[in-house]
Amino acid sequence: MVSAGDFKNGLTIEVDGGIYQVMEFQHVKPGKGAAFVRTKLKNIKSGGVVEKTFRPTEKCPQAHIDRSEMQYLYKDDMYHFMNNETFDMVDMDPEQVGDALKFVKENEMVKMLSHQGEVFAIEPPLFVELEVTETEPGVKGDTATGANKPAIVETGAQVTVPLFVNIGDKISIDTRTGDYLKRV
């Protein structure tokens, strides 16, 4: 149990039967009345954000989130993952995965986040290197403006790249934002 007076950003707690992560918190001591803690909580399963106030002495159970390293194997009508230590297999449907694997190739490692054995999210690696499979050729001399163009990478995702990037180039991408970082 953790008291509301001890909340920190990133802490995961159980409130009203749901699992929430503290996004922001603020201790408020009004001129009149009792102090309270104003929080912004994110439901880690649905992604919804809720604002809630607590008394500083109020206690909430802390939720334990397991992060396990798994290998993304392949996709057919389901996404298939394997734990390389225990060889346990996990299958997830496309609704559960969402856009998490947009920049992840087959046989790459991802982190599976679970609570009491139920997987609720996938964290891809922060940075990936992918090959550009489709893009228009850049026009010579059109670089003074710092212009960009769309490109399709080998996973099928679309990113915006500088004009000098061509088909067959390997590029580094930040998976959190989908931004082009550099040519490799």
Final residue in a domain of this structure, among 78, 98, 123: 123
Same domain membership, residue 49 and residue 76: no
Final residue in a domain of this structure, among 60, 77, 103: 60
Q: What are phi and psi of 164, to 5 degrees?
A: -80, -10
Same domain membership, residue 43 and residue 14: yes
Same domain membership, residue 78 and residue 56: no
Looking at residue 142, its pLDDT comes to 59
If you compute the radius of gyration of the chain from its CA atoms, what whole number of angstroms results?
22
Looking at residue 140, its pLDDT comes to 65
How many structural domains are present in the chain? 3
- Mean pLDDT over 63-73 rounds to 87
Bin 150: left if φ > 0, else alpha if -120 < ψ < 50, else beta: beta
The CATH code of the domain that includes 163 is 2.40.50.140
Same domain membership, residue 42 and residue 23: yes
Looking at residue 143, its pLDDT comes to 59
Tokens 């067959």 belong to 168
Same domain membership, residue 131 and residue 119: no
pLDDT in tens, 119-174: 777 888 888 888 888 888 876 665 566 778 889 988 888 899 888 888 888 999 88
Instruction: Report how far residue 39's alpha carbon sits from residue 42's, in angstroms, rounded to the nearest whole number.
Output: 10
SS3 content of the chain, % helix, strand, coil (to 5): 5, 50, 45
CA separation, residue 163 to residues 46, 127, 131 (Å): 38, 21, 15
Instruction: Report how far residue 42's alpha carbon sits from residue 51's, in angstroms, rounded to the nearest whole number.
Output: 9
* Of 170, 71, 178, 176, nearest in space to 129 by CA: 170
- Model confidence pTM above 0.95: no
* Of 20, 3, 114, 55, nearest in space to 11 by CA: 20
Looking at residue 126, its pLDDT comes to 87
Bridge partners (DSSP) of residue 144 are none
- Mean pLDDT over 67-78 rounds to 87
Looking at residue 141, its pLDDT comes to 62
Same domain membership, residue 56 and residue 22: yes
Instruction: Report how far residue 56's alpha carbon sits from residue 87's, in angstroms, rounded to the nearest whole number.
Output: 45
Same domain membership, residue 160 and residue 147: yes
Same domain membership, residue 137 and residue 177: yes
Final residue in a domain of this structure, among 123, 155, 171: 123
Same domain membership, residue 72 and residue 48: no
Same domain membership, residue 35 and residue 22: yes
Same domain membership, residue 43 and residue 24: yes
The rounded mean pLDDT for the chain is 84
The CATH code of the domain that includes 53 is 2.30.30.30
The token pair that represents 83 in the structure block: 């734990």
- Domain housing 87: 66-123
Residue 64 binned pLDDT confidence (cut-offs 50, 70, 90): confident
